[in-house]
Amino acid sequence: MANYKLTYFDFNGGRGEPIRIALHAAGLEFDDVRWSFPEFAEKRESLRFSAVPALEIDGAMITQSNAISRYVGKLAGMYPEDALQALYCDEALGALEDVTHYLVQTFPLEGEELKQAREALMEGRLAVFFKGLEELLVRGGGKYLAGQMLTVADLKMFGLLQNFRSGNIDHIPAKFVDRIAPLFADYQAAIAQEPQVQAYYASLT
C-alpha cells in the first residue's frame, strides 16, 4: 500500500479539507501535516509552486488541489465514472476554485480598502459565482452537484459554505450566500449529515 502525506495549513477547511475527508473515506492512512502560517512562510520554497496543499505518494510530490481531489476522489468512490458527470464535477471544482481565488486576493488588504474590496466582490464576482453554483446544484438534481452522488465537488462546496455562512469573513455577512443562492442552506446541512463527512470529523475527536 502506498504511503500518503498531505501538507496543508493547521485548520479545518480550505483547499485541503476535501482531500482529508476523501482520504479518510477511502480508508487510507495518511500523514496529516499541518503547518502554521509562519511555518508555511519558512518552508513554502520547498514545495512545487510554493503552495499547499501538497500530497506526497511514496515520497513523490503532487500539487494542485483540484487534481489531488480528483485522484483521491476516485480512490474513495467520490468521483463520477460517467464522462459527462465527471465533466459536471470538474466544472463545479473549477468554479469553486475561482471563488477561493477571488477571496484570497483580498487577504493582504486592511481597513477601508478591505471593506471596499469585499463589498465590490459581493456585488460582482461572488454574486455571479454563487448564482452559477446554485444552477449547478439544480442541474445535479438538488441534492448533489454531479453524478447523483457525494463527490469531492460537494466536499469542496461544503467547506466553502461553512466559511462563507459562518459570519467569520470580515465584511461578508453570514446571510450573503442565502440571499444569492438560498438552496445552499439546506444543502450544507444535508452534506454535513453524510456518513463519510461525519465519520471524518468524528475521527478528529
pLDDT at residue 83 is higher than 90 = yes
Domains and CATH numbers, the chain: 4-77 (3.40.30.10), 83-194 (1.20.1050.10)
Instruction: Over range 111-131, report the average pLDDT.
Output: 97
Percent of the chain at pLDDT > 70 equals: 100
Q: pTM score, two decimals? A: 0.95
pLDDT at residue 84 is higher than 90 = yes
Task: Calculate the alpha carbon distances from 118 to 71, 103, 170 in Å.
Answer: 33, 8, 8
pLDDT at residue 123 is higher than 80 = yes
Band of residue 61 on the pLDDT scale cut at 50, 70, 90: very high
Task: Calculate the alpha carbon distances from 18 to 114, 141, 179, 196, 201 in Å.
Answer: 28, 21, 25, 11, 12
pLDDT at residue 88 is higher than 90 = yes
pLDDT for residue 172: 97
pLDDT digits 0-9 by tens, 128-180: 999 999 999 999 999 999 999 999 999 999 999 999 999 999 999 999 999 99
Residue 23's closest CA among 187, 205, 203? 203
